[in-house]
Amino acid sequence: MSTAELIFERASALPGDKQAEALRFVDFLLARRTAEAEAAEWQKLLRQTQALPSARSLTDADIVAEVAAVRARR
């Protein structure tokens, strides 16, 4: 018997409110897996972005100047 079948069998023996709780837990696990995958993708993108030549030459002074220029245009 597969794990999914065992979960179904055991959850079927629970009262309705406990079945709903088990379903919410499964949804939580799925959401967490999705969030972890998204975080890994963002981390990968960040590493790729930081590896770009233009990102390596950007200094704190460059950032301050850019922020000042944007604020001056407001």
The whole-model pTM stands at 0.52
Q: Give the number of residues written for the chain.
A: 74
Question: Which pLDDT belongs to residue 55?
Answer: 67
| Res 20: pLDDT | 96
Report how many domains make up the chain: 1
Tell me the pLDDT of the chain (74 aa) as tens digits: 899 999 999 999 999 999 999 999 999 999 999 999 999 999 999 999 888 887 667 789 999 999 999 999 98
> Given this model, what pLDDT does residue 74 score?
83
DSSP-derived letter for residue 14 is S
For 67, the domain range is 3-73
How remote is the C-alpha of 48 from its chain's centroid?
Answer: 18
